[in-house]
Amino acid sequence: MNQMFPHSSPEAGTPAQPASLMLLIICGAQFLVVIDAVVLMVAGPALAQAFGATEHDLQWVFNAYALAFGGLLLLAGRAGDRLGHRGMFAAGAVVFALSSLIGAFSVSMPMLIAARSLQGAGAALLAANSLALLTLYYPSGPARLRALGLFASSATVGVASGTLLGGLLTSTFGWSSALLINVPLGLVMAWATRRAAGAAGDGQAPSGPMDWAGAATATLGFGALTLAIAQTSHPTPSTLGLWLAAAVLLVLFVLIECRSAAPLLDLATLRNRPVAVANALIFIHSAGPLTSLFFGSLYFQQLRGLEALETGLLFLPFALASIVGARLAPLAMGYMAPRGIAALGFALMSLSSFALSFLPVAAGEPYLLLTIAAFAIGGFGSSFSFVSLTEAATASVRKGEAGMVSGLTNTSLQMGGASILALLISVTATVPAGAAAHATTFTSAAVILLAGAIAGFFLFSTSSGRAASAGR
């Protein structure tokens, strides 16, 4: 069995300056990947005016990104294990930057959609290898927990500020500026990553045959699943076919992995209880931030008549509270059991969603104080729980498997977010529009998150974060 990464290796972050630089790059990449999933949401009218785009065309601007991103995460992580995580991360940054440039200068919707697909591929390389690099530079101890806190807060702040940044850029410089800003940032990240110090092996596994059959079935299977989930709330004749294709491909993927000598995903990893439970909870974690931000945005713009920029400003309490939660989580993990942290974070997110279900819809009724309080509670709970979940999902990684575990964690997050969103949209469609739909959506999310709190408390390990850290 492969041994854990030694604490004294350069990849473990013994030289404080290279590790800190790499952490800054990793958090910047996570911020970019998350923010680009939502930054164009407020640019729909501008895109429709520029290209004469239909609602179906606009949907594909987001589906193309999600399809490539969700489908390639496992392959991107395993490629990092085989070829080196810093190299794959830098390649992802270059692909992300160049595809953003192509997208910004697109002259048609098909060109923009193709650019967004390429951007999703670059995002998969960034996301899968960023968490792997964090695991390698910070293998254990308090420094790792602080690094995970910053990583979690960068993602949450990216989601919360995406609509604000998108509205600001679109209204000031046009929709293309939301993509152009990625170009210098991506290229600087690629350059800095290649310059950062690290071990020559870069955490890669011994050379061996690549599991191309597993890669093909996983990429096509998760891609079909992503698209099927996206269509579930408004099904078309092809939706059932996508679900069947996804099921067949993913069953084939499991069968291939059971027989592969060098699997894309070692299924034995899921027999590790903390890893399995953490990934299951990560899957439903998105019910918190996604519900608050996606449906909150609809509430403020459609029912309250706010502009995109004003809506984005209302999300600031969520972003600021998430930073506080991410900073306090590492401290709490020294004194609280993982199940307590996970349960508390999910319970706070559930309380936030339940409070949002009471937001008024009649003109003139006050909503600001309730909004700020609910968003602050939800933002804190989101990052507070996410740090402990990510720690549990990646703590037992062995040499040569950091990318595989990172790809699995990111796939759980991506598939969970898409599934929860599709489920809540479908639930909303069953009730009349207006106050009833609004309350039903947030109440449903609160129930899902409460179930997550109960599951986290009873299924997670009872050992404290400090003990777990000392035992590695």
Q: Within this chain, do residues 242 and 142 fall inside the same structural domain, yes or no? A: no
d(CA 290, CA 420): 8
In a domain, 204, yes or no: no
Q: Which residues touch 130 (CB under 8 Å, ≥6 apart)?
A: 26, 29, 30, 33, 89, 151, 406
Q: How far is CA 57 from CA 42, 52, 64, 102, 175, in A?
A: 15, 9, 10, 18, 16
> Considering the domain boundaries, does residue 451 fall inside one?
yes
Task: For residue 63, tell me if it sits in a domain.
Answer: yes
Phi/psi of residue 347, each to 5°? -65, -40
Instruction: Give the pLDDT of residue 67.
Output: 80
The three-state DSSP-derived secondary structure of 285-334 is HCHHHHHHHHHHHHHHHHHCCCCHHHHHHHCHHHHHHHHHHHHHHHHHCC
Q: Provide the domain limits for residue 252.
A: 211-261
Among 164, 113, 409, residue whose Cα is nearest residue 285: 409
Domain with residue 117: its CATH number is: 1.20.1250.20
Question: According to the model, what pLDDT value does residue 204 have?
Answer: 56
Say if residue 121 is in the same domain as residue 235.
no
Q: At what angle do helices 85-104 and 182-195 cross, to 10 degrees?
A: 160
Final residue belonging to a domain, choices 261, 276, 295: 261
Q: Quick one: 462 and 353 in the same domain?
A: yes
Give the residue from 235, 261, 287 where a domain finishes. Answer: 261
Q: Are residues 249 and 366 in the same domain?
A: no
Q: Are residues 139 and 183 in the same domain?
A: yes
pLDDT digits (tens, 9 = 90+) for 360-404: 876 567 788 999 999 999 999 999 999 889 888 887 777 777 888
HSE on the CB side for 369, CA within 13 Å?
Answer: 2
Residue 429: burial class (beta carbons within 10 Å; 0-12, 13-18, 19+): exposed
**In this structure, is the dihedral angle defined by the CA atoms of residues 432, 434, 437 and 439, taken in order, positive or negative?**
negative
Looking at the structure, tell me whether residues 95 and 218 fall in a common domain.
no
Other CB atoms within 10 A of residue 444 CB: 20
In the chain, which residues have pLDDT < 70?
1-17, 41-42, 44, 55-56, 160, 163, 197-208, 233, 308, 362-364, 433-435, 461-472
**Integer Cα distance of 190 and 184 in angstroms:** 10
Please tell me the distance from the alpha carbon of residue 106 to that of residue 294, in angstroms, as a whole number: 27
34-37, long-range: CB within 8 Å, 24+ apart, which pairs? 34/154, 34/155, 34/158, 34/159, 34/162, 35/158, 35/159, 35/161, 35/162, 35/165, 36/65, 36/100, 36/119, 36/123, 36/162, 36/182, 37/62, 37/65, 37/66, 37/69, 37/123, 37/159, 37/162
Do residue 239 and residue 283 come from a single domain?
Answer: no
The distance between the two most distant Cα atoms of the chain, rounded to a whole number of Å, is 66
- Domain identity same for 243 and 336: no
Q: Is residue 4 part of a domain?
A: no
Structural domain includes residue 116: yes
Examine residue 414 and state whether it is found in any structural domain, yes or no.
yes
- Say whether both 240 and 371 belong to one domain: no
72 plus 126 within the same structural domain: yes
Map the chain to HEC letters: CCCCCCCCCHHHCCCHHHHHHHHHHHHHHHHHHHHHHHCCHHHHHHHHHHHCCCHHHHHHHHHHHHHHHHHHHHHHHHHHHHHCHHHHHHHHHHHHHHHHHHHHCCCCHHHHHHHHHHHHHHHHHHHHHHHHHHHHHCCCCHHHHHHHHHHHHHHHHHHHHHHHHHHHHHHHHCCCHHHHCHHHHHHHHHHHHHHCCCCCCCCCCCCCCCCHHHHHHHHHHHHHHHHHHHHHCCCCCCHHHHHHHHHHHHHHHHHHHHHCCCCCCCHHHHHCHHHHHHHHHHHHHCHHHHHHHHHHHHHHHHHCCCCHHHHHHHCHHHHHHHHHHHHHHHHHCCCCCHHHHHHHHHHHHHHHHHHHCCCCCCCCCCCHHHHHHHHHHHHHHHHHHHHHHHHHHHCCCCCCCHHHHHHHHHHHHHHHHHHHHHHHHHHHCCCCCCHHHHHHHHHHHHHHHHHHHHHHHHHCCCCCHHHHHHHC
Is 7 contained in some domain? no
Q: Is residue 285 situated within a structural domain?
A: yes
pLDDT of residue 125: 94
Query: Alpha-carbon distance 380 to 358, whole Å?
Result: 20
CA nearest 459: which of 363, 412, 361, 389?
Answer: 389
Domain count for the chain: 2
Residues 279 and 426 in one domain: yes
- 22 lies in the same domain as 163: yes
